[in-house]
Structure 1
């Protein structure tokens, strides 16, 4: 197989992997409310934190990052170029955002995007997670933290490994586009802040 065929195969596999909704499956496994109809209505780690607590959210975060990291890492190991890796990573995110198995209604793709950047290097992955966590702690808005981290991601990538600035920029652009509704809610003061599930 040539590189184009391999890239197309990896893009398809990444989309299918991304379509596996960790939030919905973890909530079903733990008998929690459906994240699509509870909390913010977004099937992602932040909303699972609201309705199911930290341990459930951590599981969702891990698997959402894994389904972005695995296709990107495989593509990297088989020697695909940076643009191809970018398209593979975007396919995983699009699977998360428009999941094949869940009516094409998914989450924001933030954890999957950051997971897709993780194979660039452990330093980058840790820097992205720390940046996001610090900004969530300061602002209490997951959306603000995600967008700010997305803007910084290509800068961090240039510092750690400039070969992959283009894929990082592609993913960052997708994250920002996906948050257009959050931007509007922030503008009018209706965006939800991050909060843990309250114990009964």
Structure 2
């Protein structure tokens, strides 16, 4: 079940979603050029790919990783690994602009001292979606999740601690950052199917950077 979230008054400032969860409108826009260069650098070393779920289904969202750890899905399960399974090499280092943006967004949301060791780089093409889920593969749930939306606009779904809880529909535009932790750390979340469009950051696609403290 979902509930539309109308946020015109909060369009230029922090938008609370729940205790421990907030949207920072346009927070990443000052970093545009550096972020674009960094994303290109990461995927040049670890190309985007469609991973497979433990049930053998191909994921619609293409992804790569950077940082000390990378999130991996295959027929053996979900996990973090220090090596890219396609190359056998360590994942690309976390670019300085990534680390700085994640720390500043977390601090703005009330989570001081956030030092991510993993960043998932996801590419959404029109029609792709992300089913409701919890982020449970990390060791320390006291650390927040920082999610940066770049390129095409999307509708983010943010629910509660149970899958059956009503989820808000949160429109996200280029540069918006969602941070959730504390009592909201294990809330269900997802993304509705992406609509067609164009954006100069990444033409025809949405890039999502999700920062985590996984180890």
Please, what TM-score do these two structures have when normalized by structure 1? Answer: 0.30
| More contact order relative to length (CA 8 Å, sep ≥ 6) | 2
For normalisation by structure 2, the TM-score amounts to 0.29
**More strand by proportion, 1 or 2?**
2
